[in-house]
Structure 1
Amino acid sequence: MPASNFASATTPPELPGEVLPLVGYSPFWLWLGIALVAVIALYYLLVWVFTRDRGEDTAPEPEAEVDVDAARIEAFWRVDDIERRARAGELDDRSAYEQLSATIREFVADATGVPADHMTLADLSRTQLHGTTRTVAQLYPGIFAPEAQRDVAAATRDARAVISGWN
């Protein structure tokens, strides 16, 4: 006899699998997570403690007083020496221009504290050292051009003018 519709309606349908009760996570994972967060927080705390400003009042050392007169005398001596060696043929024009430029830049750096001896001409032109910039710029063709365009005597006069202009 055929199964009646009544019988199939009263039997529950079969479930696709077995339903298991809920299972909680192991407390190990919770404690591991808390420990990791604590280790990271401790790391940042230690970095902050060991790298913060301790508040030690260290007064900056006073800058050494520059003896401009002594620096000027030294620079004049170097210019005179460059001019003498260029006239004697011990220095070619290019080397004389290079040494004059270095002498001017070093004197200005000593006298003002502006690192003119380490600046490019473009950097130097952005300072208030207009006379120095102009004189150094006039020396550049003698240093970098294939042929010198000025005589060393005129360049030494300009170098002396820059050096004597500082008080």
Structure 2
Amino acid sequence: MPDDLLEFVSGPPGYSPVWLWLGLALVLAVIIWYAVVFVATLPSHRLRAIPAVRHVHARVLRHRFLRSVRRITDSHRRGELSDPEAGAALARALRSFLHQATGRRAQYMQLRAVADGELAAAAPVLSALGDAQFNRASTTDLDRLGRQTEELIRSWP
């Protein structure tokens, strides 16, 4: 092996080749870090279009909104939220999830439009949540609605 090539691979006399590999590892770590930050900050509609990221995005989204629904349900159980407040918070969380998961602007859709479109599976839960939110005489069980909301988010395609 020529002396120049040997010196390049092993480094100048007195330096360990570990420094070369450590430097390369650090450069690679920085490149990976920038790639992760770039992907993590993309909007949902772009993440849904990238095949390699689509499943991870869906799993993270489900986890985030399931945690939110559990917090709302727990707050209602502790008495921190009234029935109408908990119904509104659950409906807002579910509609936000549907928007992030599908790109449909579910926050602004009327219940009839939800029931007639691709979000039809969410219509019964949204209807019950609306009843809990706006009907003072409602006897809706918000713990059951919280579980139904969780199940809908967990099983969303």
Q: Structure 2 length as normaliser, TM-score?
A: 0.63
- 2:7 is matched with none
Alignment of 1:1-167 (within 5 A): 63-66=45-48, 67-167=57-157
Say if 2:115 and 2:121, in contact at 8 Å, map to a contact too.
no
Q: Structure 1 length as normaliser, TM-score?
A: 0.59
Cα root mean square deviation, aligned: 1.2
Amino acid at match of 1:93: D
Say if 1:105 and 1:116, in contact at 8 Å, map to a contact too.
yes
> Unaligned stretches of 5+ in structure 2?
1-44, 49-56
Amino acid at match of 1:141: D
Once residues 166 and 121 of structure 1 are traced to their aligned partners in structure 2, the CA distance between those partners, rounded to angstroms, is 18
Once residues 89 and 83 of structure 1 are traced to their aligned partners in structure 2, the CA distance between those partners, rounded to angstroms, is 10
- 2:51 is matched with none
- Counting matched residue pairs gives 105
> Unaligned stretches of 5+ in structure 1?
1-62
- 2:20 is matched with none
Tell me which structure has the larger Cα radius of gyration: 1
Once residues 93 and 142 of structure 2 are traced to their aligned partners in structure 1, the CA distance between those partners, rounded to angstroms, is 14
